[in-house]
Copies of this chain bind each other. A is one copy, B any other.
Amino acid sequence: MRILVLGGDGYLGWPTAMYLSTHGHVVEVVDNFAKRRWEMELNVEPLMPIRTLHDRVSAWQEVTGQKIELFVGDLRNYELVLQAFEAFKPEAIVHYGEQPSAPYSMIDHSRAVFTQMNNLAGTLNVLWAMRERCPAAHLVKLGTMGEYGTPNIDIEEGFIEIEYKGRKDILPFPKQPGSFYHLTKVHDSHNILFACKVWKLRSTDLNQGVVYGTTTAETALDETLVNRFDYDEVFGTVLNRFCVQAAIGHPLTVYGRGGQTRGFLDIRDTVRCVELACLQPAAPGECRVFNQFTEQFSVLDIARHVQTAAAKLGLAVEVDHLPDPRVEAEQHYYNAKHSRLIDMGLQPHLLSDSLLDSLMNIALQYRDRIDTTMLLPTVDWRNGSNDRRAQRKPATVGVY
Protein backbone atom coordinates (compact mmCIF):
# COMPACT_ATOMS: atom_id res chain seq x y z
CA MET A 1 0.00 0.00 0.00
CA ARG A 2 1.21 3.53 -0.77
CA ILE A 3 1.25 5.40 2.53
CA LEU A 4 2.11 9.06 3.06
CA VAL A 5 3.17 9.92 6.63
CA LEU A 6 2.61 13.59 7.48
CA GLY A 7 4.84 14.70 10.33
CA GLY A 8 7.24 11.87 9.49
CA ASP A 9 10.13 13.37 11.48
CA GLY A 10 8.31 13.18 14.81
CA TYR A 11 8.27 10.93 17.87
CA LEU A 12 5.57 8.75 16.31
CA GLY A 13 5.91 9.69 12.64
CA TRP A 14 9.43 8.38 12.16
CA PRO A 15 8.91 4.98 13.85
CA THR A 16 5.61 4.63 11.96
CA ALA A 17 7.30 5.34 8.63
CA MET A 18 9.99 2.71 9.30
CA TYR A 19 7.47 0.15 10.56
CA LEU A 20 5.30 0.57 7.48
CA SER A 21 8.38 0.39 5.24
CA THR A 22 9.48 -2.94 6.73
CA HIS A 23 5.95 -4.29 6.45
CA GLY A 24 5.79 -4.06 2.69
CA HIS A 25 4.39 -0.59 2.15
CA VAL A 26 5.67 2.16 -0.12
CA VAL A 27 6.26 5.08 2.25
CA GLU A 28 6.85 8.80 1.85
CA VAL A 29 7.35 11.16 4.79
CA VAL A 30 6.38 14.84 4.80
CA ASP A 31 7.75 17.25 7.38
CA ASN A 32 8.80 20.88 7.78
CA PHE A 33 10.90 20.28 10.93
CA ALA A 34 8.64 22.57 12.92
CA LYS A 35 8.96 20.41 16.03
CA ARG A 36 12.75 20.84 16.01
CA ARG A 37 12.28 24.60 15.72
CA TRP A 38 9.84 24.70 18.66
CA GLU A 39 12.46 22.89 20.74
CA MET A 40 15.08 25.48 19.86
CA GLU A 41 12.61 28.19 20.72
CA LEU A 42 12.19 26.74 24.22
CA ASN A 43 15.79 25.60 24.55
CA VAL A 44 14.94 21.95 25.13
CA GLU A 45 16.16 18.85 23.35
CA PRO A 46 15.53 15.12 23.31
CA LEU A 47 17.49 12.81 25.57
CA MET A 48 19.40 11.03 22.82
CA PRO A 49 20.84 12.86 19.81
CA ILE A 50 18.73 12.24 16.73
CA ARG A 51 19.76 12.59 13.10
CA THR A 52 18.24 14.96 10.59
CA LEU A 53 15.38 13.52 8.57
CA HIS A 54 17.52 13.58 5.44
CA ASP A 55 20.13 11.47 7.25
CA ARG A 56 17.45 9.20 8.65
CA VAL A 57 16.01 8.26 5.28
CA SER A 58 19.53 7.74 3.87
CA ALA A 59 20.44 5.55 6.82
CA TRP A 60 17.20 3.60 6.43
CA GLN A 61 18.13 2.72 2.87
CA GLU A 62 21.67 1.74 3.87
CA VAL A 63 20.54 -0.41 6.78
CA THR A 64 17.51 -2.11 5.21
CA GLY A 65 17.77 -1.59 1.46
CA GLN A 66 14.28 -0.06 1.64
CA LYS A 67 13.54 3.44 0.41
CA ILE A 68 11.48 6.03 2.29
CA GLU A 69 10.77 9.08 0.12
CA LEU A 70 11.11 12.50 1.70
CA PHE A 71 9.01 15.58 0.89
CA VAL A 72 9.91 18.76 2.80
CA GLY A 73 7.01 21.14 3.19
CA ASP A 74 4.56 22.90 5.47
CA LEU A 75 0.97 21.60 5.46
CA ARG A 76 -0.26 25.19 5.73
CA ASN A 77 0.92 25.69 2.16
CA TYR A 78 -1.97 24.31 0.13
CA GLU A 79 -0.06 24.23 -3.16
CA LEU A 80 2.59 22.03 -1.57
CA VAL A 81 -0.01 19.65 -0.16
CA LEU A 82 -1.64 19.38 -3.59
CA GLN A 83 1.77 18.68 -5.14
CA ALA A 84 2.68 16.06 -2.57
CA PHE A 85 -0.63 14.20 -3.02
CA GLU A 86 -0.50 14.45 -6.79
CA ALA A 87 3.06 13.18 -7.03
CA PHE A 88 2.86 10.34 -4.51
CA LYS A 89 -0.73 9.19 -5.16
CA PRO A 90 -1.26 7.89 -1.62
CA GLU A 91 -3.75 5.14 -0.80
CA ALA A 92 -3.50 6.06 2.86
CA ILE A 93 -2.45 9.33 4.50
CA VAL A 94 -1.27 9.03 8.10
CA HIS A 95 -1.55 12.50 9.62
CA TYR A 96 0.72 13.29 12.59
CA GLY A 97 1.62 16.73 11.19
CA GLU A 98 0.45 19.00 14.00
CA GLN A 99 1.78 20.89 16.99
CA PRO A 100 1.50 18.05 19.53
CA SER A 101 1.88 19.61 22.97
CA ALA A 102 -0.79 20.82 25.39
CA PRO A 103 1.68 22.84 27.52
CA TYR A 104 3.14 24.49 24.40
CA SER A 105 -0.35 25.69 23.45
CA MET A 106 -0.83 27.15 26.94
CA ILE A 107 2.43 29.13 27.17
CA ASP A 108 0.92 32.39 26.00
CA HIS A 109 -1.42 34.05 23.51
CA SER A 110 0.84 33.67 20.53
CA ARG A 111 1.45 29.93 21.06
CA ALA A 112 -2.25 29.31 21.66
CA VAL A 113 -3.37 31.06 18.48
CA PHE A 114 -0.46 29.61 16.51
CA THR A 115 -1.37 26.07 17.61
CA GLN A 116 -4.98 26.46 16.54
CA MET A 117 -4.17 28.16 13.22
CA ASN A 118 -1.39 25.70 12.41
CA ASN A 119 -3.28 22.52 13.22
CA LEU A 120 -6.58 23.57 11.67
CA ALA A 121 -5.15 25.03 8.47
CA GLY A 122 -2.94 21.99 7.90
CA THR A 123 -5.78 19.53 8.35
CA LEU A 124 -8.21 21.60 6.26
CA ASN A 125 -5.61 21.67 3.47
CA VAL A 126 -5.20 17.90 3.74
CA LEU A 127 -8.97 17.38 3.44
CA TRP A 128 -9.32 19.71 0.45
CA ALA A 129 -6.26 18.27 -1.27
CA MET A 130 -7.68 14.75 -0.79
CA ARG A 131 -10.91 15.93 -2.37
CA GLU A 132 -9.05 17.42 -5.32
CA ARG A 133 -6.28 14.89 -5.87
CA CYS A 134 -6.99 11.54 -4.21
CA PRO A 135 -10.64 11.29 -3.09
CA ALA A 136 -10.39 7.50 -2.73
CA ALA A 137 -7.46 7.69 -0.30
CA HIS A 138 -7.99 6.94 3.38
CA LEU A 139 -7.08 9.54 5.99
CA VAL A 140 -5.71 8.08 9.22
CA LYS A 141 -5.68 11.07 11.53
CA LEU A 142 -4.11 11.18 14.97
CA GLY A 143 -6.46 12.61 17.55
CA THR A 144 -6.27 12.23 21.29
CA MET A 145 -8.23 10.65 24.12
CA GLY A 146 -7.95 14.14 25.65
CA GLU A 147 -10.75 15.23 23.32
CA TYR A 148 -13.26 13.54 25.62
CA GLY A 149 -12.08 15.05 28.89
CA THR A 150 -13.28 13.14 31.94
CA PRO A 151 -17.06 12.73 31.75
CA ASN A 152 -18.92 10.92 34.49
CA ILE A 153 -20.18 8.32 32.00
CA ASP A 154 -18.36 5.65 30.00
CA ILE A 155 -16.40 6.98 27.02
CA GLU A 156 -17.35 5.28 23.77
CA GLU A 157 -15.35 5.22 20.56
CA GLY A 158 -16.29 8.51 18.97
CA PHE A 159 -20.06 8.14 18.97
CA ILE A 160 -22.68 7.37 21.60
CA GLU A 161 -26.25 6.18 21.37
CA ILE A 162 -28.28 8.64 23.39
CA GLU A 163 -31.78 7.81 24.53
CA TYR A 164 -33.52 11.00 25.54
CA LYS A 165 -37.15 11.66 26.33
CA GLY A 166 -38.31 8.58 24.48
CA ARG A 167 -36.24 9.16 21.33
CA LYS A 168 -32.86 7.80 20.23
CA ASP A 169 -29.94 8.83 18.07
CA ILE A 170 -26.29 7.95 17.63
CA LEU A 171 -24.40 11.21 17.99
CA PRO A 172 -20.80 12.39 18.22
CA PHE A 173 -19.55 11.83 21.77
CA PRO A 174 -19.60 15.18 23.64
CA LYS A 175 -16.12 16.70 23.88
CA GLN A 176 -14.51 18.48 26.83
CA PRO A 177 -10.89 19.11 25.83
CA GLY A 178 -8.47 20.54 28.37
CA SER A 179 -6.07 22.84 26.46
CA PHE A 180 -5.89 24.91 23.28
CA TYR A 181 -3.96 21.98 21.78
CA HIS A 182 -6.63 19.44 22.73
CA LEU A 183 -9.21 21.83 21.33
CA THR A 184 -7.50 21.67 17.91
CA LYS A 185 -8.04 17.91 17.86
CA VAL A 186 -11.72 18.40 18.65
CA HIS A 187 -12.02 21.03 15.90
CA ASP A 188 -10.22 18.70 13.47
CA SER A 189 -12.60 15.87 14.36
CA HIS A 190 -15.61 18.02 13.55
CA ASN A 191 -14.03 19.25 10.29
CA ILE A 192 -13.11 15.71 9.22
CA LEU A 193 -16.55 14.29 10.00
CA PHE A 194 -18.10 17.03 7.87
CA ALA A 195 -15.68 16.48 4.95
CA CYS A 196 -16.47 12.76 4.97
CA LYS A 197 -20.16 13.57 4.90
CA VAL A 198 -20.17 16.10 2.05
CA TRP A 199 -17.38 14.71 -0.13
CA LYS A 200 -17.56 10.99 0.73
CA LEU A 201 -13.95 10.92 1.92
CA ARG A 202 -12.78 7.97 4.05
CA SER A 203 -11.30 8.65 7.46
CA THR A 204 -10.21 7.00 10.66
CA ASP A 205 -9.80 9.33 13.61
CA LEU A 206 -7.46 7.68 16.13
CA ASN A 207 -8.09 9.07 19.58
CA GLN A 208 -4.80 8.08 21.06
CA GLY A 209 -3.86 7.77 24.70
CA VAL A 210 -0.55 8.81 26.25
CA VAL A 211 2.28 7.03 24.45
CA TYR A 212 5.31 5.69 26.32
CA GLY A 213 8.57 4.10 25.20
CA THR A 214 10.92 5.16 22.46
CA THR A 215 12.21 1.93 20.94
CA THR A 216 10.61 -0.17 18.22
CA ALA A 217 12.06 -3.10 16.26
CA GLU A 218 13.09 -0.59 13.58
CA THR A 219 14.62 2.14 15.75
CA ALA A 220 16.77 -0.57 17.31
CA LEU A 221 18.24 -1.70 13.99
CA ASP A 222 20.96 0.93 13.98
CA GLU A 223 22.08 3.89 16.04
CA THR A 224 21.36 6.20 13.11
CA LEU A 225 17.67 5.27 13.28
CA VAL A 226 17.19 6.11 16.95
CA ASN A 227 13.89 7.76 17.87
CA ARG A 228 13.44 10.93 19.85
CA PHE A 229 12.93 10.63 23.61
CA ASP A 230 11.37 13.84 24.91
CA TYR A 231 11.40 14.16 28.68
CA ASP A 232 10.89 17.89 29.16
CA GLU A 233 7.70 19.27 30.69
CA VAL A 234 6.43 20.69 27.38
CA PHE A 235 6.96 17.89 24.87
CA GLY A 236 7.67 14.85 27.06
CA THR A 237 4.93 12.38 27.95
CA VAL A 238 4.47 11.51 31.60
CA LEU A 239 5.78 7.95 31.81
CA ASN A 240 8.90 8.78 29.80
CA ARG A 241 9.56 11.78 32.05
CA PHE A 242 9.12 9.72 35.21
CA CYS A 243 11.66 7.16 33.97
CA VAL A 244 14.22 9.88 33.37
CA GLN A 245 13.50 11.33 36.78
CA ALA A 246 13.85 7.91 38.41
CA ALA A 247 17.15 7.25 36.63
CA ILE A 248 18.74 10.32 38.19
CA GLY A 249 17.03 10.09 41.57
CA HIS A 250 14.83 13.12 40.90
CA PRO A 251 11.45 13.02 42.64
CA LEU A 252 8.62 11.99 40.28
CA THR A 253 6.60 15.13 39.51
CA VAL A 254 2.96 14.20 40.02
CA TYR A 255 0.64 17.14 39.33
CA GLY A 256 -1.85 17.54 42.18
CA ARG A 257 -3.34 14.45 43.77
CA GLY A 258 -2.43 12.27 40.78
CA GLY A 259 -5.87 10.74 40.40
CA GLN A 260 -5.96 11.99 36.79
CA THR A 261 -6.67 8.79 34.87
CA ARG A 262 -5.81 8.37 31.22
CA GLY A 263 -5.41 5.69 28.57
CA PHE A 264 -1.81 4.63 27.87
CA LEU A 265 -0.06 2.60 25.19
CA ASP A 266 3.39 1.43 24.17
CA ILE A 267 4.88 3.11 21.11
CA ARG A 268 5.13 -0.33 19.47
CA ASP A 269 1.34 -0.49 19.62
CA THR A 270 0.99 2.96 18.09
CA VAL A 271 2.76 1.91 14.91
CA ARG A 272 0.79 -1.33 14.70
CA CYS A 273 -2.55 0.41 15.28
CA VAL A 274 -1.82 2.82 12.46
CA GLU A 275 -0.99 -0.04 10.13
CA LEU A 276 -4.18 -1.89 11.13
CA ALA A 277 -6.24 1.20 10.35
CA CYS A 278 -4.56 1.50 6.94
CA LEU A 279 -5.02 -2.17 6.07
CA GLN A 280 -8.73 -2.18 6.91
CA PRO A 281 -9.82 1.25 5.64
CA ALA A 282 -12.99 3.15 6.35
CA ALA A 283 -15.67 3.07 3.65
CA PRO A 284 -16.31 6.07 1.39
CA GLY A 285 -18.11 8.71 3.43
CA GLU A 286 -17.26 6.97 6.70
CA CYS A 287 -15.52 8.77 9.53
CA ARG A 288 -14.87 6.11 12.14
CA VAL A 289 -13.22 6.72 15.47
CA PHE A 290 -11.03 4.28 17.40
CA ASN A 291 -9.83 4.84 20.94
CA GLN A 292 -6.17 3.93 20.60
CA PHE A 293 -4.81 2.83 23.97
CA THR A 294 -4.36 -0.45 25.77
CA GLU A 295 -4.57 0.24 29.52
CA GLN A 296 -5.89 2.90 31.89
CA PHE A 297 -3.74 4.25 34.70
CA SER A 298 -3.89 7.19 37.02
CA VAL A 299 -0.80 9.40 37.09
CA LEU A 300 -0.16 8.15 40.62
CA ASP A 301 -0.41 4.51 39.40
CA ILE A 302 2.25 5.34 36.82
CA ALA A 303 4.46 6.93 39.46
CA ARG A 304 4.11 3.86 41.68
CA HIS A 305 5.02 1.52 38.80
CA VAL A 306 8.13 3.56 38.04
CA GLN A 307 9.04 3.76 41.72
CA THR A 308 8.82 -0.02 42.06
CA ALA A 309 10.85 -0.65 38.90
CA ALA A 310 13.47 1.86 40.09
CA ALA A 311 13.72 0.16 43.47
CA LYS A 312 14.61 -3.12 41.71
CA LEU A 313 17.50 -1.31 40.05
CA GLY A 314 18.56 -0.03 43.45
CA LEU A 315 17.27 3.48 42.78
CA ALA A 316 15.29 5.13 45.56
CA VAL A 317 12.92 7.76 44.21
CA GLU A 318 10.27 9.84 45.88
CA VAL A 319 6.95 11.00 44.56
CA ASP A 320 6.38 14.76 44.75
CA HIS A 321 2.88 16.17 44.53
CA LEU A 322 3.23 19.58 42.87
CA PRO A 323 0.37 22.04 42.58
CA ASP A 324 -1.41 21.04 39.37
CA PRO A 325 -0.47 23.60 36.68
CA ARG A 326 -3.37 22.35 34.55
CA VAL A 327 -7.05 22.92 35.09
CA GLU A 328 -8.39 19.38 35.37
CA ALA A 329 -10.16 17.04 37.77
CA GLU A 330 -7.62 15.36 40.05
CA GLN A 331 -10.02 12.55 40.98
CA HIS A 332 -12.76 11.38 38.63
CA TYR A 333 -14.60 8.48 37.08
CA TYR A 334 -12.92 7.11 33.97
CA ASN A 335 -13.93 4.15 31.86
CA ALA A 336 -13.05 4.43 28.19
CA LYS A 337 -13.81 1.76 25.60
CA HIS A 338 -10.96 0.57 23.41
CA SER A 339 -12.05 -2.63 21.72
CA ARG A 340 -12.14 -1.78 18.03
CA LEU A 341 -8.40 -1.99 17.38
CA ILE A 342 -8.21 -5.20 19.43
CA ASP A 343 -11.02 -6.61 17.28
CA MET A 344 -8.97 -5.71 14.21
CA GLY A 345 -5.98 -7.68 15.43
CA LEU A 346 -3.94 -5.54 17.84
CA GLN A 347 -1.96 -7.63 20.33
CA PRO A 348 -1.08 -5.13 23.02
CA HIS A 349 2.31 -4.68 24.66
CA LEU A 350 1.08 -4.07 28.19
CA LEU A 351 3.14 -1.99 30.59
CA SER A 352 5.87 -4.23 31.97
CA ASP A 353 8.84 -4.08 34.29
CA SER A 354 11.13 -4.87 31.37
CA LEU A 355 9.88 -1.84 29.43
CA LEU A 356 10.40 0.36 32.47
CA ASP A 357 13.89 -1.15 32.96
CA SER A 358 14.72 -0.47 29.36
CA LEU A 359 13.58 3.17 29.56
CA MET A 360 15.51 3.74 32.77
CA ASN A 361 18.60 2.13 31.28
CA ILE A 362 18.42 4.48 28.32
CA ALA A 363 18.10 7.38 30.74
CA LEU A 364 21.10 6.11 32.75
CA GLN A 365 23.14 5.73 29.58
CA TYR A 366 22.45 9.35 28.61
CA ARG A 367 22.33 10.79 32.13
CA ASP A 368 24.99 13.39 31.34
CA ARG A 369 22.59 14.94 28.84
CA ILE A 370 19.69 15.21 31.27
CA ASP A 371 18.82 18.83 32.01
CA THR A 372 16.98 18.82 35.32
CA THR A 373 15.60 22.30 34.70
CA MET A 374 13.45 20.81 31.94
CA LEU A 375 11.59 18.52 34.35
CA LEU A 376 9.51 20.90 36.45
CA PRO A 377 6.29 22.40 35.14
CA THR A 378 6.62 26.07 34.23
CA VAL A 379 3.50 26.41 32.07
CA ASP A 380 0.51 27.25 34.26
CA TRP A 381 -2.86 26.96 32.50
CA ARG A 382 -4.22 29.87 34.56
CA ASN A 383 -1.48 32.29 33.50
CA GLY A 384 -1.74 34.41 30.38
CA SER A 385 1.98 34.49 29.79
CA ASN A 386 4.39 31.83 30.99
CA ASP A 387 7.85 33.21 30.45
CA ARG A 388 9.86 30.01 30.55
CA ARG A 389 13.13 31.81 29.86
CA ALA A 390 12.83 33.66 33.13
CA GLN A 391 12.34 30.42 35.03
CA ARG A 392 15.02 28.27 33.50
CA LYS A 393 18.73 28.51 32.96
CA PRO A 394 19.96 27.73 29.45
CA ALA A 395 19.69 24.04 28.62
CA THR A 396 22.74 21.83 28.99
CA VAL A 397 23.96 21.07 25.52
CA GLY A 398 25.20 17.55 24.96
CA VAL A 399 27.64 16.32 22.37
CA TYR A 400 25.74 15.76 19.13
Q: How many copies make up the complex? A: 2
For the complex, is A249 an interface residue (Cβ under 8 Å from B)? no
For the complex, is A316 an interface residue (Cβ under 8 Å from B)? no
Q: B-facing mask of A347-389, CB < 8 A → 1, else 0?
A: 0000000000000000000000000000000000110100000
For the complex, is A394 an interface residue (Cβ under 8 Å from B)? no
For the complex, is A121 an interface residue (Cβ under 8 Å from B)? yes
For the complex, is A198 an interface residue (Cβ under 8 Å from B)? yes
Known: A132-B384, A164-B153. A174 touches B174 (CB 8 A): yes
Which of B78, B131, B165, B179 touches A153 (beta carbons < 8 Å)?
Answer: B165
CB-nearest residue of chain B relative to A182?
Answer: B194
Known: A154-B164, A172-B175, A384-B132. A197 touches B327 (CB 8 A): yes
* Residues B172 and A173 in contact, CB atoms below 8 Å apart: no
* Chain B: minimal CB distance from A227 (Å): 32
**Residues from 186 to 201 in A contacting B, C-beta threshold 8 Å:** 186-187, 190-191, 193-194, 197-199
Which of B117, B165, B171, B179 touches A174 (beta carbons < 8 Å)?
Answer: B171
- Chain B residue numbers with a CB within 8 Å of A78 are 109, 113
* Residues B113 and A124 in contact, CB atoms below 8 Å apart: yes
For the complex, is A271 an interface residue (Cβ under 8 Å from B)? no
- Chain B residue numbers with a CB within 8 Å of A132 are 109, 384
For the complex, is A258 an interface residue (Cβ under 8 Å from B)? no
**Residues from 121 to 139 in A contacting B, C-beta threshold 8 Å:** 121, 124-125, 128, 131-132
* Residues B171 and A151 in contact, CB atoms below 8 Å apart: yes
* Residues B167 and A154 in contact, CB atoms below 8 Å apart: yes
For the complex, is A333 an interface residue (Cβ under 8 Å from B)? yes
Known: A152-B167, A152-B169, A165-B154. A190 touches B186 (CB 8 A): yes
Q: B-facing mask of A145-183, CB < 8 A → 1, else 0?
A: 000000111100000101111011101111111111001
Q: Which residues of A contact B (CB under 8 A)?
A: 78, 109, 112-113, 116-117, 120-121, 124-125, 128, 131-132, 151-154, 160, 162-165, 167-169, 171-180, 183, 186-187, 190-191, 193-194, 197-199, 327, 333, 381-382, 384
